[in-house]
A and B are shown apart, each in its own frame.
Chain A
Amino acid sequence: MSVAVSQIDEVKTGPWAGGKSPFNVEYGKMMMWFFLLSDAFTFSSLLISYGSLRFSMPHWPAADKVFQSVPGLLESGAPLVFVGLMTFILIMSSVTMVLAVEAGHRNSKKEVVTWMILTIIGGFMFLGCQALEWTHLHSEGFWWSSIPTNPEKLGEFFNKLANGGLVPEANQVTSAHAFANLFFTITGFHGFHVFTGVIINIIITVNVLMGTYEKRGSYLMIEKVGLYWHFVDLVWVFVFTFFYLV
């Protein structure tokens, strides 16, 4: 015997009526997406301030003059080569991360561990390269609120000097300061993300080795840390374009 149900008490079935999850993703993964969105806002605010400061200056240090060394090999004359290597390392470690996720879908513990370890190695290699890059720039005199003190040395980092002079003029000194601060802040914040990413990857790999996800029946956690790792790669794609190419 059927009981009459008033319309308001009927079981809702639609995704936006409370019947089932409208996003159809697990809670932790959804929260990772929203965290990444908020992190994207933070990076955007940094990159937007970089863009607007740079646009407001008549001169800006030329990327292929500032970044033209390969630490340990060439002192100058190789613009973009070292950062190209860094980009390749990061994209490569992103690929090993997706391969770990893919292995996780097949519940293949051994493969997940292999790919995760390769991802971690990639992360460390990137951090090492960044340390070399920072050391090199620091040795040239760039640091937070610090630029080369010798005006002629500073002039070498510009494509052309204002008024055809030998030494940079006041607004070029200002823009070199802005460049140094923005470069170390933005790549530093990105490097911090890579560092935390590596730490998280290590923790997750240890968990995989201990069989935590095998017991849980799913390697969804790999996907969540994977999202974070790809985001770090994504941010680098933008940092690379706006600091080294444009």
Chain B
Amino acid sequence: MSSEVTAVHAHDEEHESMTKGRIWKVFFILLGITCVEFIIALWLVPKGIIAGNIANPIYIILTLFKAFYIVAYFMHLKFEKMGLIMAIIVPILFIIGLILVLTNESHYWIVLRHILN
């Protein structure tokens, strides 16, 4: 119990930075990024200004930006100790590795299907 209270106090001092203004700022960033995604999906791609295969990596990059803002500010991870940040982020990096390996593998399935047909 007492350890919880001390932890909270230490914590309060560190987190003064997450004020109401800051929260709304992050919200508008998230909303703005989502709007950009909609503009790309509803206007730029149908009109042929951006090709579909170029839009996809843009969506993914924008999504990663949104993920960063949610995790760093809403979930306060940015203000935690480096040890905790690493404990959460490093395993996620392995997932990205797995994604790259498996999408590459599934591309090979397409090639294989062509060969078999």
Contact = CB atoms under 8 A, between A and B. Distances in A.
Interface of A: 15-16, 21-26, 30, 33-34, 37, 40-41, 44, 48, 51-58, 64, 79-80, 84, 87-88, 91-92, 94-95, 97-99, 102, 105, 171, 216-218, 220, 223, 226-227, 230-231, 233-234, 237-238, 241, 245-246
Given A41-B95, A56-B106, A102-B23, 7 more contacts: A15-B81, A48-B98, A80-B41, A91-B30, A98-B74, A226-B75, A233-B74
Interface in B12-40: 12, 15, 18-20, 23-24, 27, 30-31, 34, 37-38
Contact of A25 (B23, B59, B84, B109): B84
Given A23-B84, A51-B106, A98-B74, A44 B42 contact: no
Contacts of B1: 216
B8 A218 contact: yes
A22 B70 contact: no
Given A26-B8, A94-B74, A40 B95 contact: yes
What's the dominant secondary structure at chain B's contact region? helix
B96 to A, nearest CB: 9
B31 A88 contact: yes
Contact of B70 (A25, A220, A233): A233
B8 to A, nearest CB: 4
A2 to B, nearest CB: 29
A128 B27 CA distance: 23
Interface in B60-86: 60, 62-63, 66-67, 70-71, 73-76, 80-81, 83-84
In the A-B complex, list the 5 residue pairs whose CB atoms are closest, starting with the nearest: A55-B106, A56-B109, A52-B106, A56-B106, A241-B63
Contacts of B7: 21, 24-26, 220
Given A41-B95, A105-B12, A230 B74 contact: yes
